[in-house]
């Protein structure tokens, strides 16, 4: 979109014509007003990739374009339908751009479908389509057109993916998945609510609960085969969508979509509990490593103390041995020395 109140820098950047453009405008249009209108159509198309109504162009931009063409005074721009179409066709030919039509729509739709396989945000689909259309020199349609196309593609791709997942789920798995949505009359809670609930902090206190949760999840339908063709980002989005729902709400979904969302939650829960157990294992290993290092340091310190004591005892005994004293006296002093060093 154009800025509502362009600064002089904006006007120069967006509406300043090159020498070639100015010469082309002067040659194609006969009157001053027509030249200003043609230049505005050309520069707005270059800025936003599509044509805008003259009333959507800021007055300051009109004044700037008129000055660039040497037109003085108040410029009142009006277009007949025939002149408008002629100018727009000339601009597309001048820029080497193909008008929006079936080919451009087909290209935009195919691009959106590729992106929609892994993403669900309409903005991602629209941005990808705009980028592809610009690179292939196609005129951009109105944003509302792209939004409608993105909504249609998003709905169609999701429906196809849900149906694909649904065909890979056996009848037995369907019964098991549906049982998750049954509410226990005693607790007024479904197993789906337990599935969506966070398992708690990965601590030794919760270790047994994490192991029990892991074994419980292993007993649920395996999501791997049914979801193998779905991008991880899409599976995560389905899981997030499902966790925002309650069991009665999810039961209202059509079967393929319901099973796809439930399998996505199971896959996410399995990944989460494995991550928690891995963190627990790493913490235990780090604690064992720390305790081992402390015991090793203590052993070295104690061994060093014993070695120092033995060396001192040897030194002192050599001093006694070399003294000028009788054997009886030396033996007595050595016995006292050994007793002093621990016997």
259 and 318: one domain? no
Specify whether the CB–CB gap between 88 and 177 falls below 8 A: no
132 and 209: one domain? no
pLDDT band at 231 (very low <50, low <70, confident <90, very high): very high
Specify whether the CB–CB gap between 312 and 337 falls below 8 A: no
In this prediction, residue 165 carries a pLDDT of: 94
Give the containing element (helix H, strand E) for 302: helix 255-321
Please, what's the b/e burial string for 182-209 (b: 16 or more CB within 10 A of its CB; e: otherwise)?
Answer: ebeeeeeebbbbebbeebeebeeebeee
Return d(Cα 32, Cα 27) in angstroms, integer: 11
In this prediction, residue 66 carries a pLDDT of: 86
Residue 165 lies in a domain: no
167-198 pLDDT tens trace: 999 999 999 999 999 988 888 889 999 898 87
Residue 3 lies in a domain: no
In this prediction, residue 238 carries a pLDDT of: 93
Residue 266 lies in a domain: yes
Return d(Cα 91, Cα 254) in angstroms, integer: 50
pLDDT band at 269 (very low <50, low <70, confident <90, very high): very high
Specify whether the CB–CB gap between 301 and 235 falls below 8 A: no
In this prediction, residue 168 carries a pLDDT of: 94
202 and 285: one domain? yes
In this prediction, residue 308 carries a pLDDT of: 78
Q: Examine the pLDDT at 1 and tell me if it is beyond 70.
A: no
Residue 229 lies in a domain: yes
Of 78, 95, 112, the one marking the end of a domain is: 95
Return d(Cα 97, Cα 99) in angstroms, integer: 6
- Mean pLDDT, rounded, of the chain: 88
Taking residues 309-315, what's their average pLDDT?
A: 82
Q: Examine the pLDDT at 208 and tell me if it is beyond 90.
A: no
Residue 166 lies in a domain: no
Return d(Cα 60, Cα 45) in angstroms, integer: 17
Taking residues 124-151, what's their average pLDDT?
A: 95
Of 95, 116, 146, the one marking the end of a domain is: 95
286 and 314: one domain? no
184 and 257: one domain? yes
**Could you give the number of structural domains in the chain?**
4
Q: Examine the pLDDT at 306 and tell me if it is beyond 70.
A: yes
In this prediction, residue 202 carries a pLDDT of: 62
In this prediction, residue 255 carries a pLDDT of: 94
Record the tokens describing residue 100, joined without a space: 């929006």
80 and 59: one domain? yes
Strand 189-190 and strand 183-184: the pairing is antiparallel
Residue 253 lies in a domain: yes
80 and 180: one domain? no
46 and 155: one domain? no
Residue in the block written with tokens 């941005």: 127
259 and 304: one domain? no
Give the total residue count for the chain. Answer: 343
Share of the chain above pLDDT 70, in %: 98
Residue 333 lies in a domain: yes
For the chain, the straight-line distance linking the first and the last C-alpha, in angstroms and rounded, comes to: 95
In this prediction, residue 31 carries a pLDDT of: 86
Neighbours of 287 (CB within 10 A): 11
Return d(Cα 235, Cα 212) in angstroms, integer: 25
Share of the chain above pLDDT 90, in %: 49
Specify whether the CB–CB gap between 165 and 145 falls below 8 A: no
Q: Examine the pLDDT at 84 and tell me if it is beyond 80.
A: yes
208 and 277: one domain? yes
188 and 139: one domain? no
Indicate yes or no: pTM above 0.85: no
216 and 202: one domain? yes
Q: Examine the pLDDT at 266 and tell me if it is beyond 90.
A: yes
Residue 2 lies in a domain: no
Of 75, 95, 115, the one marking the end of a domain is: 95
Domain ranges, residue 59: 8-95
Taking residues 258-276, what's their average pLDDT?
A: 93
């Amino acid at each position: 979109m154009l800025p509502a109140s362009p600064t002089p820098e904006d006007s120069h950047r967006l509406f300043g014509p090159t020498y070639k453009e100015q010469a082309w405008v002067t040659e194609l249009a006969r009157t001053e007003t027509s030249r200003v209108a043609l230049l505005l159509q050309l520069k707005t198309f270059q800025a936003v990739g599509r044509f805008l109504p003259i009333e959507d162009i800021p007055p300051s931009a009109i004044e700037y374009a008129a000055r660039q063409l040497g037109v003085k005074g108040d410029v009142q721009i009006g277009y007949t339908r025939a002149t408008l179409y002629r100018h727009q066709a000339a601009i597309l030919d001048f820029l080497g751009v193909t008008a929006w039509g079936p080919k451009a729509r087909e290209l935009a739709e195919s691009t959106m479908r590729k992106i929609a396989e892994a993403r669900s945000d309409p903005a991602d689909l629209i941005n990808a389509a705009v980028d592809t259309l610009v690179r292939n020199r196609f005129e951009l349609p109105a944003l509302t057109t792209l939004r409608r196309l993105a909504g249609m593609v998003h709905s169609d791709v999701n429906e196809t993916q849900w149906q694909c997942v649904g065909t890979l789920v056996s009848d037995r798995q369907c019964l098991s998945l549906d049982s998750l949505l049954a509410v226990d009359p005693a607790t007024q809670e479904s197993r789906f609510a337990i599935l969506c609930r966070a398992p708690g902090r990965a601590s030794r206190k919760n270790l047994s609960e994490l192991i029990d949760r892991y074994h419980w999840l292993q007993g649920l339908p395996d999501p791997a085969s049914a979801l193998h063709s779905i991008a991880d980002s899409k599976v995560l989005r389905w899981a997030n969508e499902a966790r925002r729902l309650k069991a009665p709400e999810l039961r209202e979904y059509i079967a393929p979509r319901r099973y796809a969302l439930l399998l996505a939650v199971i896959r996410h829960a399995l990944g989460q509990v494995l991550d928690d157990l891995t963190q627990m294992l790493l913490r235990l290993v780090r604690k064992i490593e720390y305790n081992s290092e402390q015991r090793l340091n203590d052993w070295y310190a104690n061994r060093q103390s014993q070695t120092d004591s033995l060396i001192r005892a040897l030194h002192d005994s050599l001093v006694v041995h070399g003294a000028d004293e009788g054997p009886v006296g030396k033996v007595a002093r050595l016995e006292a020395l050994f007793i002093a060093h621990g016997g």
